[in-house]
Amino acid sequence: MVYVEGFVTAVPIANKEAYRAHAAEFVPMLKEFGATRMVEAWEDDVPDGKVTDFRRAVMAKPDEAVLFSWFEYPSKEVRDAANARMMDDPRMKDMSASMPFDGQRMIMGGFASLVDDGIGGGAGYIEGSVMVIPSASRDAFRAMAEQAAAVLRECGAIRTMDTWGDDVPDGKVTDFKCAVKANGDETVSFGWIEWPSKQVRDDGWKKAMADPQMTLKEGAKAMNFDGKRMIHGGFTPILDE
């Protein structure tokens, strides 16, 4: 099962190319340590929410864009070993000293995959989300995610991924739990949908919501899901290695 290290970051808009170059520099070391994929996606269609949203999650300033990013590993064990090696690698110290963004507002965490439908890579558009699920509703969430994934794939999605928070640390400034106002009996889920393009995404959702199999409201009600605390948005990949 794929293990995901997920990130949300606020980056000055003027530093877009510097950020992409910084991330690209990191790829060889990440692959050396066992990661199979690294994706960085730049804000495109990130709506304001009534309770919370991506911009509030990382305290984004007016001149900053939100990045939705992740690393994929073959297992948690590989990810843990990679993180341990990074901490002792002098290359990390050099990269950390030249980060073109405020690392204190970056939120990150480890997530175990629950539903992974399709083959990732080459997406022209990423639809990212972070949500909070009652911990007792894990199986109900998986069932709903599987049903939604099947419909979305029929409607043009390349891959859907839904995860379960496994190693989601508290942050000094902000973190994933704060982003969705999670309480003690809830778990954070980090997920995304890969589409060939934004237009396919828009058309795909119209088809999906007209499909009688897409009973999301019923599933959400069954697992006591609070949709008001879900944050979501559309992102354009700037790196996919």
- Domain ranges within the chain, ordered by starting residue: 3-240
The mean pLDDT value for 160-175 works out to 96
The mean pLDDT value for 72-76 works out to 98
Q: What is the pLDDT of residue 197?
A: 98
Over the stretch 79-129, which tens digit does the pLDDT of each residue have? 999 999 998 888 887 777 788 999 999 999 999 999 999 999 999 999 999
Q: Which two tokens stand for residue 156?
A: 């043009």
Q: What is the pLDDT of residue 96?
A: 78
Q: What is the pLDDT of residue 222?
A: 65
Q: What is the pLDDT of residue 97?
A: 78
Using the structure block, give the residue that is written with the tokens 């058309």: 203
Cα separation, 86 vs 133, whole angstroms: 31
More confident residue, 144 or 94: 144
Helix then strand then coil, % of the chain, to nearest 5: 40, 35, 30
The CATH topology of domain 3-240 is Alpha-Beta Plaits (3.30.70)
Cα separation, 189 vs 180, whole angstroms: 10
Cα separation, 128 vs 92, whole angstroms: 27
Q: What is the pLDDT of residue 224?
A: 73
Mean pLDDT over each residue of the chain, to the nearest integer: 94
Q: What is the pLDDT of residue 30?
A: 95
More confident residue, 212 or 145: 145
Over the stretch 184-240, which tens digit does the pLDDT of each residue have? 999 999 999 999 999 999 999 999 988 887 766 566 666 778 889 999 999 999 999
Instruction: Determine how many CB atoms are found less than 10 A away from the CB of residue 146.
Output: 14
- Give Cα separations from 177 to 67, 109, 126 (angstroms): 18, 10, 22
Q: What is the pLDDT of residue 215?
A: 66
The mean pLDDT value for 127-141 works out to 95
Q: What is the pLDDT of residue 68?
A: 98
- Which pTM does this prediction carry? 0.95
Q: Which two tokens stand for residue 33?
A: 């340590």
Element (H, E) at 202: helix 198-209
β-bridge pairing 37-45 and 3-12: unpaired
Cα separation, 109 vs 206, whole angstroms: 32
